[in-house]
Structure 1
Amino acid sequence: MNHVINGLLAGLVATVVLSVLMVIKDMMGLMPDLNVIGMLAAQMGSGPTMGWLAHIMIGVVGYGLAYSLLFRRLPLGGHGVRGILLGVVGWLVMMLALMPMMGGGLFGSGMPSGMMVPIATLILHVIFGAVLGGVYGRLGHAEV
């Protein structure tokens, strides 16, 4: 059970890091059409508070729980690499399923920012995954 709690904690830390990066992106005015919180809120027919809650739940519960349950089964090196692998899988799901569902098209092809959407979101997912795996490993789980 400790591994699940550590997965949730690692998911929380990674989600906070990702959220800060998203806020910085918005403050800099970069890719204003890529507003994941707004897109999530619109899908739920609600406001930004629900969008943020969904974002937090996906990061903490979705990724944190998934990592804690799957990390031993993931191929490759240590926790950082395995976290990145999970982040890339999540990015592919976002680009192939969620982005089209939210009106952005495959790989964000329907968005004005064009190729910057998949590149920026991939970078963010890689950072998220590295933090997720790294924190999980530091919480007492030896490299496998």
Structure 2
Amino acid sequence: MQTSTSRDVRIDPRQEGFAREDWPRDSILSGFVATFAMSATLALAYGFANAVGDANGGTLLSWFAGLTENDLMQRMGNELVLAMILNLIMGLVWAVIYGRFAEPVLRGSGWRKGVLFSLVPFLLSIIIFLPLVGAGFLGMDVDAGPLPVLGNLILHLVYGAVLGAMFAIETDSGLAGESGEHLAAVDAEKGAAIGVAIGGVVGVIAGWLIGPGLDDLAERSTIAVAGAFAGAAIGILIGSLAGMREQSDGHHLT
């Protein structure tokens, strides 16, 4: 009587602590999208804090005011493009570290792996980065109570969850494995390339159009560049997902 022993004992290399073959590509793609998600969350949080903050209000309102009215935010506003570029670079660096070293050894769903991993850059941020940029240990020099630490944690959890979920899409969708994996990768890359081109152009135009309404935050050209980054990230996400959907439906992008 024949059994399916060979199938049952087949070893997944990732379960042995090895990174999958496509980890560089998926790390970069996932890191780009995760960094955008983190940046978008930061923008929303900044807008909320700026709207409700009141230096002369109660404790909580004064904390919100402290988040937006400090030397660090002033420097970031003056060098918004540089800050965005550095943020993107660090987001990609952490994504590569995740894909190569952390993802193969962590257990659980993709988003859970990413969340666990995000605690590492979070701790480094509040212990090392914030003091280096003049915000003090744990952001205590910002005069915003626990909000710098709490906000930093939320941003990194968003980054980690998106990073882990994006990195696991290929596996969770059932496309991992030999020919299916190869075709899915090809289609995802083509979709991402198309998406980043279209998204970047649309983002520049949108940023240029809304720039005059955000002149208190940055110059019009800076907003346009920020729009290009945001549009490219959205384009990569939509394009790669569209490419993988075509493959899962039995079609192949040409």
Q: Specify the TM-score bucket, using the shorter chain as the normaliser.
A: 0.7 to 0.9
**From 5, 24, 27, the counterpart of 2:47:** 27
Shift of 1:34: 7.2
User: What is the aligned residue count?
Assistant: 136
- Deviation track 1:62-105 (CA, whole Å, cap 9, x = no partner) reads 1211111011123x422211111111111000011111111111
The sequence identity of aligned pairs, in percent, is 21
**Relative contact order higher in (CA < 8 Å, ≥ 6 apart):** 1
Structure 1 runs (4+) deviating above 3 angstroms are 33-39, 139-142
Give the aligned residue type for 2:36: V
Question: Are the aligned partners of 1:18 and 1:128 in contact in 2 as well (CA < 8 Å)?
Answer: yes
Q: Which position in structure 2 is the counterpart of 1:12?
A: 32
RMSD over aligned CA atoms reads 2.4
Structure 1 SS opposite 2:168: helix
1:60-139 aligned at under 5 Å gives the runs: 61-70=92-101, 71-74=103-106, 76-139=107-170
Opposite residue 84 of structure 2, the aligned amino acid is: W
**Which residue identity is paired with 1:23?**
A
**Quick one: which amino acid aligns to residue 20 of structure 1?**
A
Q: Which of 81, 91, 99 is equivalent to 1:49?
A: 81
What TM-score results when the alignment is normalised by the length of structure 1?
Answer: 0.83
Equivalent AA in structure 2 for residue 130 of structure 1? A
Gaps of 5+ in 2: 1-20, 51-63, 175-254
| TM-score calculated relative to the size of structure 2 | 0.49
